[in-house]
Amino acid sequence: MPRVTISEIARRAGVSKTAVSFAFNNPSRLSEATAKNILAIAEELGFVPNPVARSMSTGRTGAIGVLVPQPLPEVFRNPFLPAFLEGVGEICTKARLSLMLAPPIEGSMRRAIDNAAVDGFLTLGLEEFKSTMVVLRQRGVPYVTVDSDPIEGAPGVNVDDEGGACSVMRHVLAAGHREIVIIAIRSGKQAHFREYVGTLRNRINGYLAALDEIGATIDGRKVRLLESPATEQGGREAMIRVMKATRKPTAIVAMSDIIAIGAMREAIDRGVDLPKDMSFAGFDDVPLAAWARPPLTTVAQPACRKGQLAAELLLQRLEGKSDAVHYLLPAELVVRSSVAAR
């Protein structure tokens, strides 16, 4: 804790606290001499204004929070987050805002939201969507949702998950695959895929739409669904489950590149010849995807752009401008060579 306060400076300089405050925030309102003197004394005493006290007074913290759906370690194991934060960071830097990461506290979003000393929130792929929205509204600071169902009254940024998912599944089907395992991102609460919400639901819907075009669906036999954390390790473990089953798919379609990459690694380690014996497709187009062997066919989404846009929207809200705009960014199929013809 900073020991020396403005009162101390004021005492030593023989002025009031106001003067000290002015010297720092509004020097033009003081005579040059006194301002200089105050600053000198402050410097000498090593005075640092207490940021909490300042926030208390101004009602502003100068920070925005990013509400992430999983604990920090897990969420940083997916390269999507850094890309997103790169975009957020760009806007924050310009606006001189700092960035607070707010993961669920002991599983509770409410506590994360209530504890964070921030001026606003960016929410990323919320799981307990509706209840979190209630808490957020209650908290009384502006927020912008990313990768959640558009909500009335709050700006949001989404990508065309359904379209992207549909196009990648079409690509896989067009290559002749019929025995497919879809690896979904494991959501906090277990739910049947028909009950997915937000991004998860949109992607599943995209897959289903493409499957439907050839009269297929997720039937648990030819086309199956697995869930996995969005980490490389999660992908590996999903693959282990796949390899254990008697029925082997010819293609894996993962909802996240990092899952696909983990699964590929595990497959390679087990001697599967990719993509000849098994095809893979992902979602996100993280940098790794282009480098993977075989290079991963996936859906590109503008992660960094999403961050920028979301942060910009929040900024506008903080400044009182802007109403609840909703962006829908395109998602684009990126064909590489991890999906082989069957």
Pick 72 or 335: Cβ nearer a copy of itself: 72
Q: How far apart are CA 108 and CA 240, in angstroms?
A: 31
Give the amino acid at 3.
Answer: R
Q: Which is nearer to DNA, 54 or 224 (CB)?
A: 54
Distance (Å, rounded) from C-alpha 281 to C-alpha 165? 10
**Residue 116 binds which entry of DNA, a copy of itself, none, CB below 5-8 Å type-dependent:** a copy of itself
The residues that touch DNA, with contacts defined as CB under 7 A, are 1-2, 5-7, 14-19, 21-22, 24-25, 29-31, 33-35, 47-50, 53-54, 56-59
Position among 92, 165, 181, 309 found at the interface with a copy of itself (CB under 8 A): 92
Among 14, 51, 188, 330, binds a copy of itself (CB under 8 A): 51
Task: Say how far apart CA 127 and CA 200 lie, in whole Å.
Answer: 9
CB 180 within 8 A of CB 222: yes
At closest approach, how far in Å is the CB of 96 from DNA? 15
315 burial level (CB within 10 Å; 0-12, 13-18, 19+): buried
Residues 246-305 that bind a copy of itself (CB under 8 A): 287-288, 291-293
Residue 141 as a binder of a copy of itself (CB under 8 A): the answer is yes
CA-to-CA distance for 162 and 151, rounded, in angstroms? Answer: 18
199 and 147 Cβ atoms separated by less than 8 Å:
yes
Provide the strand spans (E) within 103-245.
120-124, 143-146, 156-159, 180-185, 223-228
- Binding partner of residue 83 among a copy of itself, DNA, none, CB cut-off 5 to 8 Å per kind: a copy of itself
| Residue 98 sits in the site that holds a copy of itself (CB under 8 A) | yes
CB of 3 to a copy of itself, least distance (A): 6
Query: Is residue 172 a contact partner of residue 212, using CB atoms and an 8 Å limit?
Result: no
Task: Using alpha carbons, select from 115, 160, 165, 119 the residue that is nearest to residue 135.
Answer: 115
* Neighbouring C-alpha atoms within 13 Å toward the C-beta of 240: 7
Binding track, positions 214-253, relative to a copy of itself; x by CB under 8 A: ------------------x---------------------
Q: How far is the CB of 9 from DNA (least distance, A)?
A: 8
Nearest to 161 by CA among 146, 177, 142: 146
Per CB under 8 A, the list member of 27, 105, 175, 216 interacting with a copy of itself is 105
Nearer residue to DNA within complex by CB, 15 or 296: 15
Could you count the other beta carbons within 10 Å of the beta carbon of residue 254? 32
Per CB under 8 A, contacts with a copy of itself among 164-203 are none
Task: Please report, as ranges, the residues that interact with a copy of itself according to CB under 8 A.
Answer: 1-3, 46, 48-49, 51-53, 55-56, 59, 61-63, 71-73, 75-77, 79, 81-83, 85-90, 92-93, 96, 98-103, 105-106, 112, 114-117, 138-141, 232, 287-288, 291-293
